Amino acid sequence: MSKENEILDLLAVSSKLVGSKQVLRGLSEGTVRCVIVAEDADCVLTDRIVSAAEISSVPIKRVPSMVWLGRAAGIEVGAAAVGVTAHED
């Protein structure tokens, strides 16, 4: 399975936080289990998110584009980051 398909499957069956502010809040509250970051997002934003995820020992996945990540998360605009909060079995 490709990395993109794996991420699509994860987002389809998981609760999520979309956007850098929401993801940073979730990381500080300890509710985020995985972070997905767009490679083409502003590095000032993504560096803060990646740093917070590393401090919290939260896995980080990367995708090439904000547009792709936004659509995969179910929104009509690009997203710099998405935080997966819960996986529904």
Computed over every residue of the chain, the mean pLDDT equals 91
At 7 the three-state DSSP class reads helix
Q: What is the pLDDT of residue 1?
A: 52
| DSSP letter, residue 74 | T
From CA 9, how far away is CA 56, in angstroms rounded?
24
What is the CATH number that goes with domain 3-87?
3.30.1330.30
Give the pLDDT confidence score for residue 87 in this predicted structure: 54
pTM of the predicted protein model: 0.90
Domain boundaries, the chain: 3-87
Which residues of the chain carry a pLDDT beneath 70?
A: 1, 86-89
What is the pLDDT, as a whole number, of residue 21? 93
Q: What is the pLDDT of residue 65?
A: 95
How high is the pLDDT of residue 89?
A: 44
